[in-house]
Structures are given as structure tokens and as C-alpha cells.
Amino acid sequence: MATVFPFRANLLNGAVSNMAVNGSVTPQNFDFAPTTATERFQIFESSFILSTAGNVNELITKFADFAPLTNGLDLSFLFSGQTYSLTGLIKNNFDLYRVFVDETVQIGNGNRTVMIGRQWHDPPIIFQPNDRFRVTVRDNLTGLTAMGITLAGKMFRT
């Protein structure tokens, strides 16, 4: 019989969840995966938060308030040994809104802007042992104060 827990987890590069890194020379991977053979996950929600100094115009052709990304953020899923990649999926604000389509808001006061987005998954995404969700940063995002992606749902442990 499985024990069920609610969970919320950040995508991590080692122990680091802040995606405001330079991945332009060496791409940086941020992952979520079950850690043991007894864990299963149902992902109901994925969300992002992005923070930058200053006021973002929210031009859909920019990334935050910067030029659009050259190489983008890659999203990939590893299911049952098969990788499904969405290379260069996120290069500008429009792409962020397209991926996190259920809710995206911007809050700014002229000194700092925070963009938040959420995508509900119904039916949920199911992660078995050896499955993985990955975001690869392939551009320099160090101009951001912070950026992160979080997954939420249920964890089943047998």
C-alpha cells in the first residue's frame, strides 16, 4: 500500500534552484526526478517566478526586460528511457506565457519586477523511477535577480 504526500519541489542544479546563471558557454541543467525506486509522482502544477531589477515593459518580444534569448531555455522529459525535447522553447516573454498559459502575472513598482506563471496539468503528469523533467539554460541569465521553476502534486511511496 502506498503512502501519499503532497509535495512541492524546485528544479535543481545540484543544490541550486536559482536559474539566473550563465549557460551560454556551458549549458546548465535544472532537474526534477524521483530519488528512489519506491517513489512515484503526479504533477498537477508547474510554475515559474522571475525577478529582475527595474520595471519590465512586458514586451512579448523581450525576455524579462532584456533582448530575446539566442539559444533559449530547453524543456525535456525523460519517460521510460525515451527523451522528449522541446529545444529552444522559451526565448522571450511570449514563450513564457505560452508555456505557463493558465496564469501569468507581472507585479512591478519601478524598482523591481516579478513575473509569475502557472500551468495546471489535467490529467497530471506521472513520473516513475528513472523519469526526469529538465530545463536547460543555454543563455546568460545573470542579469536577472532570480528565476526558478517549481512542480507541485502528490508523491506516492511504497
- CATH code at 26? 2.60.120
pLDDT tens digits along 91-115: 998 898 888 877 777 776 767 788 8
> Do 32 and 133 form a contact (C-beta atoms < 8 A)?
yes
Q: Do 35 and 130 contact (CB within 8 A), yes or no? A: no
Taking 70 as the threshold, does the pLDDT of residue 57 lie above it? no
Q: Taking residues 26-52, what's their average pLDDT?
A: 92
> In terms of residue numbers, what domain contains 66?
3-157
Question: How many domains does one find in the chain?
Answer: 1
CA gap 87, 71 in Å, rounded: 9
Distance CA 19, CA 11 (A): 9
Q: Structure pTM?
A: 0.90
Q: Note the pLDDT of residue 53.
A: 81
Task: Give the Cα-Cα-Cα angle 128, 35, 6 (nearest 5 degrees).
Answer: 75
